[in-house]
Structure 1
Amino acid sequence: MNRNLMISDIHGHLNAFEQLLAKVDYQPAHDQLILLGDYIDRGPASKETIEFVMDLQANGAIVLRGNHDDWFLQWLQDPSQVSPNFLLNGGMETIQSYLHELGDDFSIQKQTEWATSIRENHPTHINFLNDLPLYYEHEAFICVHAGIDPLQIDWKNTSKEDFLWIRKEFHNSIIDANKPIIFGHTPTKGLQKHAGIYFNDNKIGIDGGYTFGYQLNCLIYEQNEFTEAAVTKEEIENGMTRQLFPRK
């Protein structure tokens, strides 16, 4: 493989994701694409993004689980056991991408009907999300969604909760790993003054906060060097992009 391309936190913004792949001229036969989770919630096309990512995985992409992907799985299993924060943090957009008109009844009974319908009609999506791993280790770096537990002697002993949700404990710690930890989950604008890739102390943050109005980043690893590319919300909204893949 010539390049490793890492992207995180797409959040249902399929058009921006496609445009970013076009911008870096992603070639599945020559590039290793690594996706760090959060394919759904907040954006307008969660269901379509999952379908697209499934196709990418079938063509060799490495696909990790994010906290929003995991949250959706929990909701599908039993909405009554999931915090209303799921709906408030983009879950409604995901449900709507599957079921369209939802009405104004958000009771647990109604949510259970929605979850049952999605489970019954899209079992391949559920299986896909359930099978996603929590990390990927390359000879030169480690990829996770949120971070690792800095108190663990072996980072692989990090809990599922921390792989998917950790923030400050990871960000504020010196990470004693022999290779950089590449993570998403926390928009880099909250870690530095801009939304580009965040490089700090053996940690590389790649979530550009596109869903919050900033940009979708791609971290590129080639010939022992990291470089970056991005598409901004402004570029996408002003149509300064091109289509890469034909829609099914």
Structure 2
Amino acid sequence: MSRKIAIGDIHGGLKALVQLLRRVDITPEDEIIFLGDYVDGWSDSANVVSYLIELAKQNTCIFIRGNHDDLVHRWLKTGELNEKWLQHGGQSSMDAYRNLTPEEKQAHIEFFQQMMNYYIDKKNRLFVHAGFTNQHGPQNEYHDTGYYWDRTLWETVLALDPKMQKSNIYYPKRLQLFKEIFIGHTPVTRIDETTPFHKAGVWNIDTGAAFMGKLSAIEVNTKEVWQSDPIYKLYPNENGRN
């Protein structure tokens, strides 16, 4: 039976991704939805992208665009440098791309260009890296950047009174639009969680792989969770984004 697997922010941790997919026991029948931020952090950013390009030839893969992916894409395509990007993992990606040929870099540029800002499946479940701000849904956003930079959706979820019913006039409209929402972007380790966190129909799958956490996957239908080892243990001589 085919499965629908959502995977959180990878941040250059190829060793963790390979380990995680082995634990999930991925088959060609499975659909894999990657929630973005494939790069910036650990030393394998370029290798992660190369690996995903090959994986997509064997599996049905959906690649959501993350904010770090957008920054690396801009740098690869135009040479655009963002100082804050360099301070938050960008330098590791620049170092990782030094060994790639021009042809390989072009393939990566095309990979980044083809990413989706969001994906809605047939069961009305939304997959997006960060969120959206328009109360009528992501299809009505005025600016693409919200999909991979917005934190207000997550902040709204955390601030919401769990006793509030959806019928309440003050219940956030954004949280009424979909059966479920799957996001990454903000590590749940910031609220002292180590596994995918669920509240108000939103699942945050970012378990801090960029820092001291693990890379996580969840089966969207059954909610079975798999995790890698803490990534810093797989890259003992590196600091990631710490």
Q: TM-score range by the shorter chain?
A: 0.7 to 0.9
1:123–1:198 CA distance, 2 compared to 1 (3 A): same
SS at match of 1:210: coil
Secondary structure at 1:122 match in 2:
helix
Partner SS, residue 127 of structure 2: strand
5+ residue gaps, structure 1, are 101-116, 240-248
Q: CA deviation at 1:45?
A: 0.6
Please provide the CA RMSD for this pair: 2.3
Q: Contact 2:6 / 2:34 at 8 angstroms: preserved in 1?
A: yes
* Cα deviation 1:19-45 (Å, max 9, x = unaligned): 0001111112x2111111111111111
Residue 148 (1) aligns with residue 136 (2): no
Q: Which residue of 1 aligns with 2:66?
A: 66
Residue 114 of structure 2 corresponds to 131
The whole-number CA distance in structure 2 between the counterparts of 1:161 and 1:235 is 30
1:228 Cα deviation after fit: 1.2
**1:55 to 2:39 alignment:** no
Distance between the aligned counterparts of 2:218 and 2:68, measured in 1? 21
Aligned length: 217
Contact 1:196 1:208 in 2 (8 A): yes
Which consecutive residues of structure 2, in runs of 5 or more, have no partner in the other structure? 158-171, 237-242
Deviates more, 1:45-54 or 1:225-234: 225-234
Q: 1:54: Cα distance to partner?
A: 0.7
Q: Give the superposition deviation at 1:83.
A: 2.4
Q: Given that residues 210 and 232 in structure 1 are in contact (C-alpha distance below 8 angstroms), is that contact kept between their aligned partners in structure 2?
A: no
Distance 2:232 2:138 in 1: 38
Q: Which residue of 2 aligns with 1:22?
A: 22
**Structure 2 SS opposite 1:10:** coil
Task: Work out whether 1:208 is the aligned partner of 2:191.
Answer: no
Deviation, structure 1 residue 95: 1.1
| Identical-residue share of aligned pairs (%) | 29
Change (3 A) 1:76 1:122: closer
Give per-residue Cα distances to partners, 1:61-101, cap 9 Å, x unaligned. 1111111110112223444x54201111111111111216x
Q: Which TM-score applies when normalising by structure 1? A: 0.80
CA distance in 1: counterparts of 2:37 and 2:102, whole angstroms: 19
Equivalent residue runs for 1:71-220 within 5 Å: 71-79=71-79, 82-99=81-98, 122-140=105-123, 141-149=125-133, 151-158=134-141, 159-172=143-156, 174=172, 175-190=175-190, 192-220=191-219
SS at match of 1:213: coil
Contact 1:73 1:129 in 2 (8 A): yes
Go from structure 1 to structure 2 and tell me whether the alpha carbon gap of 1:169 and 1:144 turns closer, same or farther (over 3 Å shift). Answer: closer
In structure 2, the CA distance between the partners of 1:200 and 1:19, relative to structure 1 (3 Å rule), is same
TM-score by length of 2: 0.82
Read off the aligned partner of 1:219 and give its amino acid letter: I
Preserved CA contact (<8 Å) 1:148 1:170: no
Runs of 4+ with >4 A deviation: 117-121
Deviation, 1:193, is 2.5
Contact 1:119/1:126 (CA < 8 Å) preserved in 2? no
Contact 1:6–1:218 (CA<8 Å) still a contact in 2? yes
SS in 2 for 1:43: coil
1:3 aligns with 2:3: yes
Task: Output the amino acid matched with 1:70.
Answer: D
